[in-house]
Amino acid sequence: MSLKVNNLGFCYRPESWVFRNVSIEVPKGGRIGIYGNSGCGKTTLAKILASFISPKEGEVVVDGENQKREGFQPVQLIFQHPEKTMNPLWRMKDSLCESYVPEKSLLDAFGIRDEWMERYPIELSGGELQRFSIVRALHPETKYIIADEMTTMLDAITQASIWKGLLEIVKERNLGLIVISHEMAIIDKICDSCLNLEDYCHA
Amino acid sequence: MPLLQVNNLSVSFDQYGRGLERFVTTPIRSLSIEIGKGEILAVVGASGSGKSLLAHAIMGILPANAIVGGEIKFKGNLIDERSIKKYRGKQIAFIPQSVNYLDPSMKVKNQVRIGLPGIKSERIEKQEHLFEKFGLKKSDGDLYPFELSGGMMRRVLFTTSMISPDTELVIADEPTPGIHRSALDLVLNQLKTIADSGIGVMLITHDIISALKIADRVSVFKDGCTVDDIPASFFSADGESLENEYTRMLWKSLPEHSFMEAI
């Protein structure tokens, strides 16, 4: 059981590869860190893994099956900018419960308050919004989580408490985790192994 | 006389609830800071503690329903939404936080050239020089914002503010998130060079470790109040010399320190 990537390549323009020949395997319950200079394709890779976009070559295999384009995606992506992932015209409770209704205990683990449910995204801070996008990604059928610069916009205390909450659930459910970050200190503390995506650039 | 002085600043928003019901929220209650010539002040604190609002209040770009109290003085002169106009983009430069401030329909090289002085050929030369200085390729200038990565957009935003020869104060609102190590050092060195030439710098950031490399003093905000104002040298190893409990917690919860064990 693993999230496996074989010889993945992506380009926006023909033959101008962002990265090529990327092969990674994240076992169930494993934690891998990905870093590299800005512009080397970290977010693009994350979007391919979560099947928001299709690779130009190579394949993504989730627990032995080829990635499917429809239905629930067992690989869920948490974006860097939560304000860009919420419908601005929906109240938070509607964004949160769009795909499933989370249990009270999960909301408590991330300190989500009842009073925030009736608000619109613009009425919450970045840290508060990011808690919603994490809980939203923790659907019961989720098997792998990609955290793309999940806490760069947050202060150290909020950052530590959000990671603490997420890691407890990752451990409890034995989820696979990919951490994309520039902060090596975070990758060091959380991940079993890491890779530099630049090694696959301009191949 | 300090370059910039903010005393007891408060910012409230007058909002409408259901129907005609009105209510007032006060995200900033009492902020006070001071920046001298050539000094770098790092402003750190919780998300939502009013750091960006402070910058917006100084620049006079708060939304229309904002009510501002307290005083902001630039070189001893009180400034408000009207008088700031003569300083804005000239003596006081601002680097906004959100990458949404870039125009999505314009090539980035042209956005940078707008604010530069001189005739067209000088502006082109200056812009290309700035790009080179911040590790951006000449061809990156032909891209639109959506084609740039997060870290590249940050650096483009940063170049848009490096403008006037008579700048005396630079306010940088989170110029570094999503930037990799070597580009981060370019930005920090640039701010340091700016300060060494006598310009005051206010650096709003979450990245305390990076800020400490260049800052002289650190102001800590929480829930719209200044809770601490101390020399950068007080931040050391285990934070023993940090008297304020919140400041110590902020320091200890960094991933370089105790991280999750501090919570």
Any bridge partners for residue A34, and if so which? A180, A195
Q: Is residue B30 part of a domain?
A: yes
Residues A66-95: tens digit of each pLDDT: 988 888 999 999 998 888 899 999 999 999
Pick from B47, B249, B251: which is nearest to A126 by CB? Answer: B47
A203 pLDDT more than 60: no
Cβ-Cβ contacts under 8 Å, A182 against chain B: 151, 178-181, 184
Residues B95-111: tens digit of each pLDDT: 887 777 888 899 999 99
Residues B166-222: tens digit of each pLDDT: 889 999 998 887 777 888 888 898 899 889 989 999 999 988 999 999 999 999 999
Q: Is residue B206 part of a domain?
A: yes
Please report the sign of the dihedral spanned by the C-alpha atoms of residue B219, residue B194, residue B148, residue A75.
Answer: negative
Residues 65-94 of A with CB under 8 A from B: 80
Cβ-Cβ contacts under 8 Å, A154 against chain B: 47, 206
What average pLDDT does range B28-35 have in this prediction? 95
- The set of residues, in sequence order, having a beta carbon less than 8 Å from that of B172 and lying 6+ positions away, is B95, B158, B161, B191, B201, B202, B203, B204
Pick from A39, A164, A183: which is nearest to B151 by CB? Answer: A39
Q: Is residue B81 part of a domain?
A: yes
Q: Is residue B132 part of a domain?
A: yes
Is B77 in the same domain as B171?
Answer: yes
Q: Count Cβ atoms below 10 Å from residue B211 Cβ, excluding itself.
A: 23
pLDDT at A110: 93
Residues B181-194: tens digit of each pLDDT: 888 888 898 899 88
Q: Which residue of B has its CA nearest to A119?
A: B17
Residue B257 maps to which CATH number? 3.40.50.300
Report the gap between the CA of A161 and the closest CA in chain B (Å). Answer: 6
Is B172 in the same domain as B84?
Answer: yes
Q: Which residue of B has its CA nearest to A44?
A: B149
Within an 8 Å CB–CB cutoff, is residue A38 touching chain B?
yes
Spatial distance between the Cα atoms of B94 and B173, rounded to a whole number of angstroms: 8
Is B207 in the same domain as B82?
Answer: yes
What average pLDDT does range B121-150 have in this prediction? 88
Report yes or no: B57 and B11 within 8 Å, Cβ to Cβ.
Answer: yes
Q: Count Cβ atoms below 10 Å from residue B75 Cβ, excluding itself.
A: 15
Cβ contact, residue pair A163, B259, below 8 Å? yes
B132 pLDDT more than 60: yes
Cβ contact, residue pair B152, A36, below 8 Å? no
Q: Is residue B102 part of a domain?
A: yes
Is B128 in the same domain as B115?
Answer: yes
Cβ-Cβ contacts under 8 Å, B263 against chain A: 157, 160-161, 164
Report yes or no: A1 and A28 within 8 Å, Cβ to Cβ.
Answer: yes
Residue to test with chain A: of B176, B253, B257, most A Cβ within 10 A: B253
B263 pLDDT more than 80: no
Cβ contact, residue pair B206, A128, below 8 Å? no
pLDDT at B155: 85
Cβ contact, residue pair B179, A80, below 8 Å? no
Cβ-Cβ contacts under 8 Å, B179 against chain A: 38, 182
Res. B73 pLDDT band, cuts 50 70 90 = very high
Q: Which residue of A has its CA nearest to B150?
A: A38
pLDDT at B161: 76
Pick from B47, B154, B183: which is nearest to A155 by CB? Answer: B47
Domain count, chain B: 2
Is B208 in the same domain as B143?
Answer: no
What are residue B116's phi and psi, to 5 degrees? Answer: -85, 145
Report yes or no: A201 and A19 within 8 Å, Cβ to Cβ.
Answer: yes
Is B62 in the same domain as B172?
Answer: yes
Within an 8 Å CB–CB cutoff, is residue A126 touching chain B?
yes
Report yes or no: B68 and B7 within 8 Å, Cβ to Cβ.
Answer: no
Is B136 in the same domain as B210?
Answer: no
Beta A176-180 vs B92-95: how paired, if at all? Answer: unpaired
Is B111 in the same domain as B25?
Answer: no
What is the secondary structure of B81-106 as a DSSP string? TTGGGGTBTTTEEEE-S-GGGS-TTS
Q: Which residues of B touch A (CB under 8 A)?
A: 44-49, 147-152, 154, 174, 177-184, 206, 208, 249-251, 253-256, 259-260, 262-263
Is B85 in the same domain as B13?
Answer: yes
* Residue whose token pair is 């570094």: B176
Q: Is residue B24 part of a domain?
A: yes
Q: What is the ipTM of this complex?
A: 0.81
Residues B221-243: tens digit of each pLDDT: 998 999 999 999 999 877 888 99
Which has the higher per-residue pLDDT, B42 or A14? B42
pLDDT at B159: 85
Pick from B49, B149, B260: which is nearest to A39 by CB? Answer: B149
Question: How many Å separate Cα B233 from the centre of its chain?
Answer: 21
Is B9 in the same domain as B79?
Answer: yes
Helix axes A156-173, A126-137, angle to 10 degrees: 10
Within an 8 Å CB–CB cutoff, is residue A149 touching chain B?
yes
Is B172 in the same domain as B63?
Answer: yes
pLDDT at B36: 96
pLDDT at B20: 81
Within an 8 Å CB–CB cutoff, is residue A160 touching chain B?
yes
Q: Is A119 helix (H, G, I), strand (E, B) or coil?
A: coil
Cβ-Cβ contacts under 8 Å, B44 against chain A: 155
Domain interval for residue B131: 97-163
Cβ contact, residue pair B259, A80, below 8 Å? no
Q: Is residue B19 part of a domain?
A: yes
| Structural domains for chain A | 2-200 (3.40.50.300)
Cβ contact, residue pair A43, B183, below 8 Å? no
Spatial distance between the Cα atoms of B155 and B141, rounded to a whole number of angstroms: 12
Is B204 in the same domain as B80?
Answer: yes
